[in-house]
Amino acid sequence: MAYRKIHTFLYKAKFRTWLSKIALNLFRQKHRQKRKHESLILEEIMIPGEDGNPERKIIKSELQWCIIHNLQHHLPEKYRVVLVLRDLQSFSYKEISETLGWSISKTKTMLHRGRQLFRNTLLNAKCKALTDDYCCTCEGVQDL
């Protein structure tokens, strides 16, 4: 897709930003088609590094499920997208604003609201990784 559209790249934005816009449009297009399943993020995100320890693997997968579930089902797309760009793809505020067509000020606001909402959903889900009284010292939890 990017190859077919390369003639539309006008050097006004960074190549990465331009490419991300294409990816974002494809994501939205695909997401609209798959709305009933809402499995896109679940399929596209993973936690790397498994050491084969079954207990650790289970704890990791439970936490991973909790994080992804909250991201996927409890965050509106406008917040999910900005969290993915910033916290998973390490985009700068400027790159996010260019990709999404937002002002820097709106980018900051949306990122903050998204992060607050994400934190609240984890707390509401009683995510053990967030609670201070969780005293398990299992290696898997410490690392995650």
Partner 1 sequence: MKCQKVISLFTEYYDDELSQKIRTAVKDHLDQCEECKAKHKEFNKSIKLLKKLKPLE
Q: For binding to partner 1 (CB under 8 A), which residues are involved?
A: 44-48, 63-64, 67-68, 71, 83-84, 86-89, 93, 108, 111-112, 115-116, 118-119, 122-123, 127, 129-130, 132, 144
Those residues whose C-beta lies under 8 Å from the C-beta of residue 44, and which sit 6 or more positions away, are none
Nearer to partner 1, 1 or 130 (CB): 130
Report the alpha-carbon distance of residue 121 to residue 119 in Å, rounded: 5
Nearer to partner 1, 12 or 48 (CB): 48
Q: Residue 141: is it exposed, middle or buried by C-beta count within 10 angstroms (0-12/13-18/19+)?
A: middle
Smallest distance, Å, CB 35 to partner 1?
21
CA distances (Å), origin 26, targets 45, 94, 120: 16, 21, 29
Nearer to partner 1, 10 or 135 (CB): 135
Smallest distance, Å, CB 13 to partner 1?
21
Smallest distance, Å, CB 2 to partner 1?
16
Smallest distance, Å, CB 43 to partner 1?
8
The two three-digit tokens of residue 57, written as one number: 């693997």
Nearer to partner 1, 18 or 111 (CB): 111
Query: By C-alpha distance, which of 117, 126, 43, 124 is closest to 77?
Result: 117
